[in-house]
Amino acid sequence: GFEAHAFFHVTVMRGDETRSDTFDLVIPASTEGEPALWDTLLEISDLLEISPERIQAGGSVLISGQGTIDREDFVWTRVDLNAPLTVTINPDTIITDVAVDSSVIDSSIGETVKSGALFLALRNRLPLGIRLKLHVKEEEKGDSLVRVIEIPAAPVSEEGWSARDTAFTVKLSLSENEIEIFTRKPRKSWAGIIFPGTNGVPVTLRASDYMDIKGFAGFRVRIEE
């Protein structure tokens, strides 16, 4: 097979300011009819210093040398632009509504409930730990349920960003008074996502970073014939 040279061009623009760079990449030849799989990381952080409003990218491939080209031969490339953002984060709290479906239990069967629990599946791909504060409040009497869950940070790679997510499940057992909250309406549920901050230490965030929280309430009931 042929060795190929790929020329990849990146141009960034903000107002009248323009920056650009060109990368000369060597793509290895296939061996024994098997395509050569190859990837690389292009450092363009200096281009992003101007906080560009537009990014243009393109390229070309040059094949040279001696050999035979079959009809099925090809050169194929894919470019993923991943622009990490390095920032310091101050302590902050985000409040979001939470829908808790407890239609399986109401006041008419509340006395038959033997036990109950909240089950949460948590995933965090942010390079910093988070505290989740879950609230369920019965508005008529003002009774409330509050739980705080510590969500650890994702492991960080040598490059300084999260390598994979941290995933785990949590079971939160409910007391009799807390179970009773789910038998009354109106009821309000919300969660506070608490970011403790980075104490001035920069962390690197990417578009692929995320936090995912899923859960449900489960109850054991006594059924009488």
pLDDT digits (tens, 9 = 90+) for 16-70: 999 999 988 888 777 776 777 777 777 787 787 777 888 888 888 888 777 777 7
| Order of all β-strands in the sheet with 54-63 | 17-27, 4-14, 54-63
Query: What is d(CA 174, CA 115) in angstroms, rounded to the nearest whole number?
Result: 7
Provide the residue ranges of all domains of the chain, joining segments of one domain with +.
Answer: 4-83, 87-221
Cα 92 to chain centroid distance, Å, stands at 18
Give tens-digit pLDDT for 67-104.
Answer: 777 777 777 777 776 667 777 888 999 898 887 665 55
pTM reported for the whole predicted model: 0.59
Q: Return the pLDDT at 131.
A: 94
* Pair 152, 129: CB distance under 8 Å: yes
Check residue 72 and give left, alpha or beta (phi > 0: left; psi -120 to 50: alpha).
alpha
- Local structure of 49: helix, strand or coil: helix
Which range has the worst mean pLDDT, 33-42, 119-128, 165-174, 190-199? 33-42
Average pLDDT over residues 110-126: 85
Q: Return the pLDDT at 147.
A: 92
Average pLDDT, the chain: 82
Question: For 39, phi and psi rounded to 5 degrees?
Answer: -140, 165
Amino acid letter, 84: P
